[in-house]
């Protein structure tokens, strides 16, 4: 039996044992395995992955994860760490794996490469590297989310020197290959399948830099968080690198960093309140001094839903009233009422179009962008051209 079969057998056994022992509902635990491989022995050293892994581990700890950190892991260290992590992840609410280092696709399989790998032939991956499939298996038995984050799409020097087997004659492809996670598993690549990611010239890679900037933002639903990461990376690399997320989650909103004020029925950040019958009352104005002049005007935000993107438009008047509508019209309920914005705090009371709806929170204005945080999460408004 080769090492691949041995590792796969242990991974399956660990996962099945976890499923058998897991409680009927998630127990609220969050666990994470973080690996940063840079000191490769057979190819040039990568400078950033150990830094990336250490910084991401610190962020996950602040988010309530019990973190195991492996720096410059050998095959045996990664194998043992993954098996132990699988036991801990079974039945947890969330389980996350972050890997920074070399990864590659060989003959349709994706591999995470330990620092002691030599990979002289494509068939050596079975005995010298860790299968991405086994990693996804270990996060698959969670209650809310199994998350795999891979900053492992770098231009890979192993591929250039690798001999190909006569059986396949298939070259090792650039980056990682496309995958189709199932269940509540989400896999994020630093660069979409078939493309490569940058290691970066600073302390962190462009992807890790963007992830660190966004991962602890309160009240941002996890899929929206990765969209923010995507945009930050594409801006930083001038569209040379496009992160990509694989997997399909349910409509349930999932937060790594909870909204500032959680409600019993937590909703996706920027989600619209439920529609209700209009009331007869008309908006009443408040004092003009209660409206920060920086907020007066028309603002918009793009929101994703099961039917695609919709555009939400807020009109904030200097007299302390507001009007809200969405395009397409049926994507969110139109409403209007009174609002205050002053000294970084805001309040809202709907008087027409929504029944008994109010909200409040904090705000910041940065030129043409307003960061609005309330009980439904954080929204990033942009000043509209209307």
Phi, psi of 278 (to 5 degrees): -65, 155
Angle between helices 3-21 and 75-89 (to 10 degrees): 20
pLDDT at 366: 82
| b/e map 106-131, b = 16+ CB within 10 Å | bbebbbbbbbbbebeebbbbbebbbb
Chain CA centroid to CA 171, Å: 31
Residues in the chain: 386
Q: Which residue reads 């250490």 in tokens?
A: 54
Strand partners, 330: none
Q: Which residue reads 């839903």 in tokens?
A: 305
List, in order of start, the domains of the chain with CATH numbers: 3-246 (3.40.50.1460), 288-383 (2.40.128.490)
Per-range mean pLDDT, top range of 70-79, 197-206, 317-326 = 70-79
> Are the CB atoms for 81 and 125 separated by under 8 Å?
no
Chain CA centroid to CA 271, Å: 18
Report the alpha-carbon distance of residue 331 to residue 355 in Å, rounded. Answer: 18
pLDDT at 345: 87
Neighbours of 374 (CB within 10 A): 22
> Are the CB atoms for 154 and 46 separated by under 8 Å?
yes
On the CB side of 106, CA atoms within 13 Å amount to 28
- For residue range 127-155, list pLDDT tens digits in order: 999 999 999 999 998 999 999 999 987 77
Strand partners, 299: 314, 383
Q: Which residue reads 């790998």 in tokens?
A: 117
| Distance linking the first and last C-alpha atoms of the chain | 67
Report the alpha-carbon distance of residue 91 to residue 230 in Å, rounded. Answer: 30
Report the alpha-carbon distance of residue 44 to residue 25 in Å, rounded. Answer: 46
The yes-or-no verdict on residue 297 having pLDDT over 50 is: yes
- For residue range 42-84, list pLDDT tens digits in order: 999 999 999 999 999 999 999 999 999 999 999 999 999 999 9
Model confidence at 270, in pLDDT bands (50, 70, 90)?
Answer: very low
């Amino acid at each position: 039996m080769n090492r691949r079969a041995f590792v796969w057998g242990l991974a399956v056994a660990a996962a099945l044992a976890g499923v058998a022992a897991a409680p009927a509902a998630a127990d609220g635990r969050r666990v994470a395995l973080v690996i940063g491989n840079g000191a490769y022995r057979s190819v040039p050293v990568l400078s950033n992955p150990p830094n990336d892994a250490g910084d991401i581990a610190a962020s996950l700890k602040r988010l309530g994860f019990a973190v195991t950190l492996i720096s410059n892991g050998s095959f045996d260290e990664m194998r043992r760490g993954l098996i132990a992590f699988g036991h801990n992840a079974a039945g947890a609410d969330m389980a996350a794996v972050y890997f920074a280092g070399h990864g590659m696709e060989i003959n349709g399989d994706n591999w995470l490469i330990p620092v002691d790998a030599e990979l002289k032939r494509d068939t050596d991956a079975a005995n010298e590297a860790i299968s991405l499939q086994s990693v996804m298996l270990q996060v698959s038995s969670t209650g809310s989310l199994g998350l795999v984050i891979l900053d492992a799409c770098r231009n890979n020097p192993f591929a250039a020197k690798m001999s190909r087997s006569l059986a396949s004659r298939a070259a090792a492809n650039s980056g990682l290959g496309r995958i189709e996670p199932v269940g509540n598993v989400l896999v994020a690549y630093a660069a979409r399948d078939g493309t490569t990611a940058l290691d970066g010239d600073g302390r962190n890679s462009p992807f890790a830099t963007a992830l660190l900037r966004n991962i602890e933002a309160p009240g941002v639903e996890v899929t929206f968080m990765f969209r923010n990461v995507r945009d930050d990376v594409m801006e930083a690399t001038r569209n040379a690198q496009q992160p990509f997320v694989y997997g399909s989650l349910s409509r349930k909103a999932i937060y790594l960093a909870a909204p500032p004020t959680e409600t019993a029925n937590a909703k996706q950040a920027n989600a619209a309140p439920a529609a209700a019958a209009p009331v007869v009352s008309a908006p009443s104005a408040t004092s003009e001094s209660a409206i920060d002049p920086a907020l007066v005007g028309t603002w918009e935000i793009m929101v994703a839903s099961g039917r695609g993107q919709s555009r939400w438009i807020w009109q904030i008047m200097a007299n302390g009233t507001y009007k809200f509508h969405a395009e397409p019209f049926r994507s969110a309920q139109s409403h209007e009422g009174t609002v205050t914005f002053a000294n970084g705090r805001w309040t809202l009371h709907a008087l027409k179009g929504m029944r008994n709806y109010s909200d409040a929170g904090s705000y910041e204005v940065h030129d043409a962008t307003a960061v609005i945080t309330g009980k439904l999460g954080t929204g990033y408004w942009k000043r509209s051209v209307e």
